[in-house]
Amino acid sequence: GTLRALHGSPDEEGALFSFTGWLAPGDIWSAAADGKVAATGLTPPPPIDVRPYEAKRFFATARDGTQIPYTLIYRKGLRRDGRTPAWISAYGSYGIPAYTPTFAGRILALIDAGFIVGYANVRGGGEYGREWHKGGQLMNKPNTWRDLIDVCEELCAKKYTSRSRLAIGGRSAGGITVGRAMTERPELFAAVIDGVGWSNPLRYVAEPNGYGEEPEWGRISEEAGYRALKLIDSYQHVQDGTAYPAVLLTTGVTDPRVGPFHVAKMTARLQAASSSGKPVLLRVDFDAGHGIGSTRAQQDREAADTYAFLLWQTGVRAYQPA
């Protein structure tokens, strides 16, 4: 689980903190000075029964031998026959430990429809400290998307899913991860979800906060930085006549962090280049930005559209067009 928001007072012994997990809705707990920990019950429990679900952590061996942690969440009684659709998300940037155990009730709807939902803690994040971050930064950035590829290869080899049922997803800097995984191994995936993602980082100079990305991606005015930026630029790696998977790209028109032009350009490029005949769609929210300030209703609508696309493109029978 994940412990957050530790609060103490000089006038009282002990402390309060919040705790959540993949299948543990958030609650406020107390830790006494003698080490005893107890739930306070201050947070009303949600009307969700999590007993039918299971969350397990695994490690995939990357091509250089590094052990890459990933988590799968699914309904108990899962049959490993390669027929279960799976959606694996990844981030891997800025030294941020993304996808730590956190309860997200929305994903249970997708799991109830037959999906495995997973999270890959690829290099570039902060899961194992500074070295893990550096392992997916600048010229080491290919490790980030190749870690995701290697996790997905293992899932197929172990028959959790198969290529025709496998989808990947990433948001913001995670757009680099999924975009480059797709352009490097398009045959591995049935669908890709790219949410407010960096698709064309070579153009970061057009971004309001673009120059702040130089320590992470590289400086375009220097040869090494230019090469690093071109390496991570998914738009630059789209090849004409390639059978790309189905792709849903999303953006908010007022996004101050990753301009809408990234996914707009990527959408047009994929539509022109792909030979697969699979849909490449752009979802635009004219009242949203990067997603951080979106309302609950906006988040629900985006999730519904995303889940519908995933169910459609991974071949779940009940969700195919008539």
Closest CA to 251 of 243, 242, 261: 261
- What is the side-by-side strand order in the sheet with 15-21? 2-8, 15-21, 24-31, 37-39
Closest CA to 106 of 295, 251, 299, 319: 299
Catalytic residue among 172, 199, 234, 274: 172
3-state secondary structure of 179: helix
Tell the residue number behind the tokens 């630059």, with chain if given. Answer: 236
3-state secondary structure of 194: strand
221 carries an active-site annotation? no
290 carries an active-site annotation? yes
Instruction: Please enumerate, as own/partner, the contacts of 56-60 that have beta carbons within 8 Å and a separation of 24 or more.
Output: 58/154, 60/120, 60/147, 60/150, 60/151, 60/153, 60/154
DSSP secondary-structure letter at 39? Answer: E
Torsion angles phi and psi, residue 146, rounded to 5: -75, -30
Distance CA 4, CA 94 (A): 20
Contacts of 87 (CB under 8 A, 6+ apart): 110, 115, 116, 117, 118, 167, 168, 169, 193, 310
Catalytic residue among 164, 276, 290, 294: 290
Give the catalytic positions in this structure.
Answer: 172, 290
